[in-house]
Amino acid sequence: MPVKEYEAKKLFYPIGEVARMFNVNTSLIRFWEGEFDIIKPHKNKKGNRLFTQKDVDNFHIIYHLVKERGFTLQGARDKMKGNPTDTTNSAEVVKSLQRIKSFLLELKEQL
């Protein structure tokens, strides 16, 4: 299932909104937060997690590796630590291709 893109950029995203972006449960977001040390959400006085845009971008990479490419969690951690720029570039290429695909499908529908 493709990842939903949000146009508006916020400073902080609550956990429910991040979960909706990836169409997963909030429990998976909390699990990934514990498994990957690059995810560091801010917490308000009530203890609610608030994720920055950088955290969301890291979730995109994790989602791409684990859900789309089938990596194990350990494999995804190793890949992100071993060559983070290559992994980031690969995830960006996939995002761009998904946007192009959706644009072309919309264009096809209009014809």
| Residue 38 in this model has a pLDDT that exceeds 60 | yes
Q: Which long-range contacts (CB under 8 A, 24 or more apart) does 5-12 make?
A: 5/99, 9/53, 10/53, 11/52, 11/53, 12/42, 12/50, 12/51, 12/52
Both tokens of 83, joined, read: 């060559």
Both tokens of 81, joined, read: 């630590």
**pLDDT at site 90:** 75
Q: Where are the domains of the chain?
A: 13-110
| Residue 3 in this model has a pLDDT that exceeds 70 | no
| Residue 91 in this model has a pLDDT that exceeds 90 | no
Q: How far apart are CA 10 and CA 65, in angstroms?
A: 25
Question: What percent helix, strand, coil does the chain show, rounded to 5?
Answer: 65, 5, 30
**Which residues are CB-contacts of 59 (< 8 A; sequence separation ≥ 6)?**
18, 21, 22, 29, 32, 39, 51
Fold category of 13-110 in CATH: Multidrug-efflux Transporter Regulator; Chain: A; Domain 2 (1.10.1660)
Q: Please write the tens of the pLDDT for every residue from 11-36.
A: 899 999 999 999 999 999 999 999 99
- Helix or strand holding residue 111 (H, E): none
Q: Is the pTM of this model over 0.75?
A: no
Q: How far apart are CA 99 and CA 104, in angstroms?
A: 9
Q: Please write the tens of the pLDDT for every residue from 70-90.
A: 989 898 888 888 877 777 777
